[in-house]
Structure 1
Amino acid sequence: MSDNIPSYFQSSPDAEGYYGRFGGNHYPPELRSALLELASSYQELHKSPEFHHALNKVRVGLQGRPTPIHYLENISKQVGGAQMFIKREDLNHTGAHKINHCVGFALLAKQMGKTKLIAETGAGQHGVALATAAAYFGLECEIHMGEVDIAKQSSNVGSMQLLGARVVPVATGQSALKDASDSAFNAYIEQHKHALYAIGSAIGPHPFPMIVRDFQGVVGREAREQFLSITDGTLPEHVVACVAGGSNAMGIYTGFIDDPDVILHAVEPLGKSDELGQHAATLSYGRPGTLHGARSIVLQQDDGTPAGVSSIASGLAYPGVGPEIAMLHEAGRLSVAAISDEEVINTFLRMAKFEGIIPALESAHALAFAIRLASQRPSSERILVNLSGRGDKDIGYVLENYRLGDQPDLS
Structure 2
Amino acid sequence: MKIRFKKQLIFMFIIIATGLSYFYLIDSDSSVVGIGVDDIALIFASAWGVYIWLILYKKPNPKFEYAVWMLCTIILIVLSSWQSYNLYGQNISLGIKVQRTFLVWAILYFPIRKAFYYQLITIQGIKYVIQIIGIIELVLFIGQYLLSDSVSFLYVDQGLRYGTVRYYFQPILIDLLYFVEFDNFIMLKGRKKIVSSVLLITCLLEVMVVQKLRLTSIALILCIMIGTFIAKGSIKKKFMYIIIASIFFLILFKTILVQDVLNELFYSSSHTSTLSIRESGRALYLSSLTNHPLLGGGYPHEECYAAYTAAGLYSKIYLVDNGIFGFMYIYGGIGLVWLVTFWFKMLLKGWNLFKKSKYMAYLLFPIFFLVTGINEMHWYWMNGFMILIFFLALQEQESEKKRYEHLGKYRILTEKINIYATS
On whether the aligned pair clears a TM of 0.5, the verdict is: no
Rg bigger for which structure?
A: 2
* Bigger strand fraction: 1
* Bigger helix fraction: 2
